[in-house]
Structure 1
């Protein structure tokens, strides 16, 4: 994905304006070049709903991005970045069957509807605690005071991690987000990712050793993975470490941006708040529309496994393809009035959590966190307002804010 000043970028994909508002560019690409090769990004950009949804289940598009990343590294960096490649090579999100099937089937045992419902009161308790602290000052930064803290607390509870370690976990997750959302692998980005992977795996390795020494077995996800055995296959320690990293990262980033984007949209569209508060069914529908309209994950990449034709273009084996979720979820072919936020929208089959075998494990949990947090905010602080227009992240993979300052009364 590295770019040089000489690389052609006619659609401004490397600009700050694209990070702030990518939707006009998505519109142009959907209509004029639905399969567009970007020199700036080093891959094909797919923007239509049908192509993106289809791409998630197309065997010609491989999820093995870790192998592709390792293969592109210059010799001087291969040894230094070996911990990154080793870890990512065991992330279920970044591998294909059969390894994906084995790891996913084991982790699925922890992400049950029963567990999600069990966490409901714990999520509400944590939301209330965070908002109590904010209410005492009459204002808050939604990103730092709520959206960054709630997901890491919930995922930490699932993994069986002490609450006091939340700040460390959040820092590592943020480092991963920078790596996956950059358009240029600078030495700083690579070092940040390497440090995050090494420190996080050391942390989880210590927890595993401590539990084995004390013979402590719980019902949390880490204990489940340590004891997991399915058809005679036991997760290796590296796979346990990698899955802990993935669960923390994916559960944190997606939900953080859902919460901040959701509050921002509600503050900018106060006439739609009633829809969110009118019933449990409408609350759920409102969160789905927020996910569609401002998808927390804007793109996921794939590696092309064999040559094929699409929209008159030849996509070659070994090239990258970017499945643009943010563009697909604004495709008017799929969503009438796609550019309009409508919290009462029906038949909302968005793909904010992906599609197919790599569909987000924690989708139900993220939805529940969004529903509880946004409803509680609207009920407790009906007169809240923006203190200033927020600044968007400098990231093309994740759509969110650096901060979101609001007055609560």
Structure 2
């Protein structure tokens, strides 16, 4: 669909207001049109918790969006965007069993709880370093000074990447986020994604070559993936490259927005700050509620593989379906007082980090970063307050802020 073509948009899904505050629209869709086809988005929006959770495990909803994306490209673009399709076709997030089962099993061998726990002191060290710099400067922007920097530093350490290359990783992750969060594949968006994929794969090919030349086997995630084997099966180089891209993208975007959303919510609801400073159990529950209440990833798409009926609508083979995570996590059918932030919420089976076989690989790591960073900021600066109402991202897939300036008090 061209950028200039007019489409019907009765629910305002293409508007800036929806990006700023989608929740009234989500509520209306859950009540009036729980399976709604958007011309602007080019697919069905599923907004009720039961449908979204079920969609994660429904075999009629395929994760193979890379194949569908490649098939929709005009002939003139197929060759130019071949690197994008090739990379995305190996992302564990975007493939179905049996390929998904094999890749996930091998990556799981590398992405161990032991590795995540090993990173705990490094996370604390990085947060302290960022806050030292903010204190010395007398000002803090939670997005630019902490939330954008921490996930890249942690993922870089995990993959065994030199710290000085962090800026490159952020640029590539942001390009991926723009691609996945747009409602229009403009030439600029596609070129940004292609450049990010090509540059990133070239960078990681160099690191892989270095690892293979080394006489000693490293313990970082990249080295472990190169050596990962299960019943005689290995990850191909393309699968290793794709997994590096996925780990960077998913780990960066989810955690960055968790940190910024979390601090914003605490500053807007100061009566709940003490929960973050309480026991470890209270801290864990608080981070889960932030994930539910302001889900960093608002939607994931699927490709429909056969016709089926849902809420009186016929979803057709080949069409796209959007699992609206942000809407599902505010569904009062699942969560009592769903629109109220309750950091002590107990029964909190949110799906902010996915569900089933596509549950987020780095969920434990993202949670740990959120717990450490938010508690440390609040302890260090007890008089922290917002300087201004921050501006939301121009993105329908990711819920976060462009910046979050605060006074240290």
Q: TM-score range by the shorter chain?
A: over 0.9
Matches of 2:395 and 2:357, distance apart in 1: 26
Matches of 1:301 and 1:316, distance apart in 2: 15
Corresponding residue number in structure 1 for 2:301: 301
Matches of 1:346 and 1:140, distance apart in 2: 32
TM-score (normalised: structure 1): 0.99
Matches of 1:320 and 1:48, distance apart in 2: 17
Once the two structures are TM-superposed, the CA of residue 3 in structure 1 deviates from its matched residue by 5.7
- 8 A contact 1:43–1:320 mirrored in 2: yes
Matches of 1:43 and 1:332, distance apart in 2: 24
Matches of 2:299 and 2:215, distance apart in 1: 42
Q: Which runs of 5+ in 2 are unaligned?
A: none
| Aligned-partner SS, 2:110 | coil
| Aligned-partner SS, 1:109 | helix
Q: Deviations over 1:167-226 (max 9, x none)?
A: 100110000000000000000000000000000000000111122223342011100111
Once the two structures are TM-superposed, the CA of residue 6 in structure 1 deviates from its matched residue by 2.1
Matches of 1:321 and 1:391, distance apart in 2: 28
- 8 A contact 1:3–1:40 mirrored in 2: no
Matches of 1:4 and 1:39, distance apart in 2: 14
| Aligned-partner SS, 1:314 | strand
- 8 A contact 2:110–2:228 mirrored in 1: no
TM-score (normalised: structure 2): 0.99
Describe the shift of the 1:270–1:197 C-alpha distance in structure 2 as closer, same or farther (beyond 3 A).
same
What pairs with 1:65-144 in structure 2 (closer than 5 Å)? Answer: 65-144=65-144
Matches of 2:340 and 2:246, distance apart in 1: 33
- Confirm whether residue 252 of structure 1 aligns to residue 275 of structure 2: no
Corresponding residue number in structure 2 for 1:214: 214
Q: Deviations over 1:230-253 (max 9, x none)?
A: 111111111111110001111110
Matches of 2:180 and 2:2, distance apart in 1: 13
Corresponding residue number in structure 2 for 1:285: 285
- Confirm whether residue 396 of structure 1 aligns to residue 396 of structure 2: yes
Give the number of aligned pairs.
409
The range that moved more, 53-62 or 109-118, is 109-118
Q: Deviations over 1:76-114 (max 9, x none)?
A: 000000000000000000000111111111111122222
- 8 A contact 2:3–2:186 mirrored in 1: no
Once the two structures are TM-superposed, the CA of residue 229 in structure 1 deviates from its matched residue by 1.3
Q: Deviations over 1:20-49 (max 9, x none)?
A: 000000000000000001111000000000
The range that moved more, 205-214 or 247-256, is 205-214
- 8 A contact 1:384–1:408 mirrored in 2: yes
Corresponding residue number in structure 2 for 1:155: 155
- Confirm whether residue 50 of structure 1 aligns to residue 50 of structure 2: yes
Once the two structures are TM-superposed, the CA of residue 2 in structure 1 deviates from its matched residue by 5.8
Corresponding residue number in structure 2 for 1:362: 362
